[in-house]
Chains A and B, each alone.
Chain A
Amino acid sequence: MDGGIDDFAAVLDAARQGDDDAAAVLFDAVHPGLLRYLRWHEPRAAEDLAADTWLAVAERLGGFEGDEQAFRGWVFAIARRRLADHRRRSRRRRTTPVAPETLTRIGGGLDPAQVSLEAADAQQAVARLVGVLSRDQAEVVLLRVLAGLGVEEVARLVGKRPGTVRVLQHRALRRLAQAEAARRTPTDGARHRSGRGRRRESPG
Chain B
Amino acid sequence: MAKFPLDDEVVDRLLAGALAPDDAPPGFGPVAALVRAARGPAAANELAGRAAAVDALVRGGAGATSPVRSGRTSMIGKLLGVKTLAVAVPGLLLTGGVAAAATGSLPGPAQSAASHVLSDVGISVPNGHGGHSGTGTSGSSSSQGSANGHAANATGPDATGPAAYGLCTAFKAGGLNQHSVAYRNLAKAAGGASNIDTYCASVSKPTTTTTQGNGTGDDTSSDVTSTTTAGSGNRDHAPVSTPPTQGPPSSTPPVSAPPVSTPDSGADSSGTGPGGHAPSSTPGEGAH
When C-beta atoms are compared, the residue in chain A nearest to B40 turns out to be A122
Interface residues of B in 14-68 (CB under 8 A from A): 14-18, 20-22, 27-31, 33-43, 46-50, 52-61, 64, 66-67
The residue from B22, B55, B75 contacting A50, defined by CB atoms under 8 A apart: B75
Q: Is the interface of A mostly helix, strand, loop or mixed?
A: helix
Asked whether, in the complex, the Cβ of B67 is within 8 Å of the Cβ of A52, the reply is: yes
Asked whether, in the complex, the Cβ of B18 is within 8 Å of the Cβ of A51, the reply is: no
Contacts of A54 in B (CB 8 A): 49, 53, 56-57, 79
Compute how far the CA of A41 lies from the CA of B287 in the bound complex, rounded to whole angstroms. 12
Asked whether, in the complex, the Cβ of B30 is within 8 Å of the Cβ of A55, the reply is: no
* Chain B nearest CB, measured from A20 CB (Å): 6
* Chain A nearest CB, measured from B46 CB (Å): 5
Interface residues of B in 62-81 (CB under 8 A from A): 64, 66-67, 69, 72-75, 78-79
Asked whether, in the complex, the Cβ of B67 is within 8 Å of the Cβ of A109, the reply is: no
Contacts of B287 in A (CB 8 A): 104, 106-107, 131, 133-135, 138
The residue from A50, A107, A177 contacting B284, defined by CB atoms under 8 A apart: A107
Asked whether, in the complex, the Cβ of B54 is within 8 Å of the Cβ of A107, the reply is: no
Compute how far the CA of A80 lies from the CA of B4 in the bound complex, rounded to whole angstroms. 32
Contacts of A109 in B (CB 8 A): 275-279, 283
Asked whether, in the complex, the Cβ of B54 is within 8 Å of the Cβ of A119, the reply is: no
B130 within 8 A of A: no
Q: Is the interface of B mostly helix, strand, loop or mixed?
A: loop
Asked whether, in the complex, the Cβ of A28 is within 8 Å of the Cβ of B42, the reply is: yes
Asked whether, in the complex, the Cβ of B285 is within 8 Å of the Cβ of A103, the reply is: yes
Asked whether, in the complex, the Cβ of B275 is within 8 Å of the Cβ of A31, the reply is: no
Compute how far the CA of A181 lies from the CA of B31 in the bound complex, rounded to whole angstroms. 10
The residue from A124, A129, A170, A201 contacting B21, defined by CB atoms under 8 A apart: A201
B282 within 8 A of A: yes
* Chain B nearest CB, measured from A178 CB (Å): 6
A203 within 8 A of B: yes
When C-beta atoms are compared, the residue in chain A nearest to B24 turns out to be A177
Asked whether, in the complex, the Cβ of B273 is within 8 Å of the Cβ of A135, the reply is: no
A196 within 8 A of B: no
* Chain A nearest CB, measured from B158 CB (Å): 26
Asked whether, in the complex, the Cβ of B283 is within 8 Å of the Cβ of A173, the reply is: no
* Chain A nearest CB, measured from B40 CB (Å): 5
Residues of B in contact with A, size category: 35 or more
Contacts of A18 in B (CB 8 A): 58
* Chain A nearest CB, measured from B20 CB (Å): 7
When C-beta atoms are compared, the residue in chain B nearest to A144 turns out to be B15
Asked whether, in the complex, the Cβ of B279 is within 8 Å of the Cβ of A46, the reply is: no
Interface residues of B in 170-217 (CB under 8 A from A): none
When C-beta atoms are compared, the residue in chain A nearest to B278 turns out to be A109
* Chain B nearest CB, measured from A176 CB (Å): 5
The 7 closest A-B pairs by CB, nearest first: A109-B278, A107-B283, A43-B275, A59-B61, A107-B284, A125-B37, A58-B61
List chain A positions with a Cβ less than 8 A from chain B.
1, 3, 15-16, 18-20, 23-24, 26-28, 31-33, 35-36, 39-44, 46-48, 50-52, 54-62, 87, 89-91, 94, 96, 98-99, 102-110, 119-131, 133-135, 138, 141, 144-146, 148, 150-151, 166, 169-170, 173-174, 176-178, 180-181, 183-184, 199, 201-204
Q: List 16 A-B contacts (CB under 8 A).
A: A24-B54, A26-B57, A31-B50, A43-B277, A44-B272, A47-B270, A51-B73, A55-B66, A58-B56, A102-B280, A109-B279, A121-B37, A122-B39, A174-B6, A184-B30, A204-B20
